[in-house]
Structure 1
Amino acid sequence: MKVANVARLMGAVTAGVCLVALGVATMAQAQAPQPLKIGLMAGLSGVYADVAQGQVEAMQLAIEDVGGKVLGRPIEIVSADHQNKPDVAAGLARKWYDDGVKMITGLDTSSVGLAVRKVAQEKGQIDLNVGSATADLTGPACSATGAHWVYDTYALAHVTGSAVVKDGGDTWFFITADYAFGKSMEDETAAVVKGAGGKVVGGVKHPLSTQDFSSYLLQAQGSKAKVIGLANAGMDTVNAIKQANEFGIVKGGQRIAALLIFDSDVQSLGLPVAQGLVLTTPFYWDMNDETRAWTKRFRAKKDKLPNLTIAGVYSATLHYLKAVQAAGTDEPMAVMAKMREMPINDMMTKNGKLREDGRVIRDMYLAQVKSPAESKSKDDIYKILATVPADQAWRPLKDGHCPLIKN
């Protein structure tokens, strides 16, 4: 055989081998299970940054607890900062769902939560809202593929507000963040105060991410209300309480009611300033052996005290992944059906239930910030005053005006 013919033959054989190898690789890639993509969208900068940091790590713990896979598929997390802007959040949600993300959680800031809810409904996809507080998410904005996981303005108002009124705080002045959460928080708490025979003597609204609360606090001080209700959150709450302390408002006899406050806020304020504040929570790291063990695992990933939103992201993600496994599919309606059917059990929730309107029903706790003398360490910040049963903490199904519910 001539040398040229041998060379041509060898070239053809080599090309054939390469084509076969390419075909095998392509087939293997096609047969490899595609990742289940889940998303974490949070205010990772701005007024709620300290609240949201650690939520990705909480998702990672949930993935570990199902063995890293569901239905033989690896689980992939995508995450982003929504910048507390509803238009940014809606754009991200639309892109993520189009790119195959099957569930979005986190979603602090009520205006963001409502914006993402609309996109999820449009796409027929799942949103498990942890960080937004507006009770509209299980009311007029309820969804067959949506859930509200940790707290809402109704529960915060009824647990914290009722406790303060019963303790003699029967006249209120509100300092309120001027967006969906603030309005909902003030409205719900005002209803509780009036329903208990108290009176709202005034209020003022402030822009999100306000640095100077002096004019608002002076109005509250001048109202002579027994209670100054803070219908805000994150650094807005921290700044308001710090400046109220500088003005001597509490020493002057008025009381501060922080209607949504987080562990990180309390640590930022310090116990000498925050002591005595009452609050509502479904989770505290030092409640029992299970919460302490979970917190130890979390802190190995992120060295901070886990708050109720971090615990909530873990809880929502874990229950979702269990439901995908039980349903045998990631099809949203089938997964949501399983999520409603299965009890919710984890370190923060025992035999919880996902109700038809998307509300997660669990017991809540009334807590109080410890004094420096009561605290044994920098993380020993709360004492639990009472357990509030689920049927008392949450808005009755019939009262939410969720379009999915036939009264």
Structure 2
Amino acid sequence: QGNGYYCPPTHILQLCGFRLLLECPIDLSSLAVFSPIPSAGAANLDASSGLLRALPWLKTVPGLHLWDASLIDAVLVSSPSGMLGLPFLTRNAKFCGKIYATEVVARIGQLLMEDLLSMHAEFLQFYGADVKPASPEWMKWVELEKLSPVLKQAVLGEDGEELGAWMPLYRMHKVEPLLEILHPKVVLYPEDLRIQYPLKENSSWSYLYYSENVQLRVPSFVEDVKACLETNLAFQLRPRRLTQQNIAIARLKGRIFLSKGKYFLAASRIPMEFSNKQLLYWGSIEPTCLLLALQDRGLVGTIHWNKDAANGVYTIQITNPEKAVIETSATMTTISCEDENTATLIYEALGTVCDGI
């Protein structure tokens, strides 16, 4: 429920598994409950007007402070006043959603934020800061009980649930990261304007052109995606600890789906047979270590370097008990062997000198 143009209505919309916050304003009408700070030793309540004599705090959207910020997947802002409360949300370490706003809204909203911060700085210059900025005197219940019914309604709400919505004004260093987020990443133009707005090499954002009834693929700026594992899928994993790093990795067969703004990995309907699945190896192979691993399994061979080839190609010729050739380079390893038992021993030796799943 909004309060005029400067505090547009706010809604939480759940759509296709995403939880969207529509507008994130602050209630500027809450400033009307404050009067200038008195001289030292004066009461916190102005007896003549009934207003609070204190450094003004701002009131965010009622109920928003009760939400878990990690559950908000995206914020849609359609007006400049609807973004004034964003710094209260983005400073929360749990918030990792996206923010969508037009360039005009972002620019005007920036001006409003800077103007609000400028007025607050002037107020502090004349009256000074609170002695206890985190817990001002007027927020104590003893002082709140002295308020008139009208002011008490404005400060506490119906059942006192809006007291937690009051926040001290943010600082400029909290606004700057938000404004950086709102800078355009991708600009879309109709295909008809391609000639008037050609691609720019040194532009800080990407240009894309769209046509009617033609699907357009917008590139993602997220390098990796975090997903949650279903419990039954987690029990199917057989992690293998890597030899070169202090991590474990496992192969799985499943499907990914989106639910409530989060990615989940679910088990495949056809279970994966690990007993019949060969390991996938990667990484460079040190020839001396491989030769020692082969000797531990009873295979005798020698290393031959191919100095004329690129990428450091070398071969290991096995002569006993059966003949085999292992040719390896920085990009590929080839095993040539006629005896099945010998090939199995070579494969096992490779598993001890390189990582695999």
TM-score normalised per structure 1: 0.21
TM-score normalised per structure 2: 0.23
Q: Choose between structure 1 and 2: higher strand proportion.
A: 2
Q: Choose between structure 1 and 2: higher helix proportion.
A: 1
Higher relative contact order (CA 8 A, sep 6+): 1
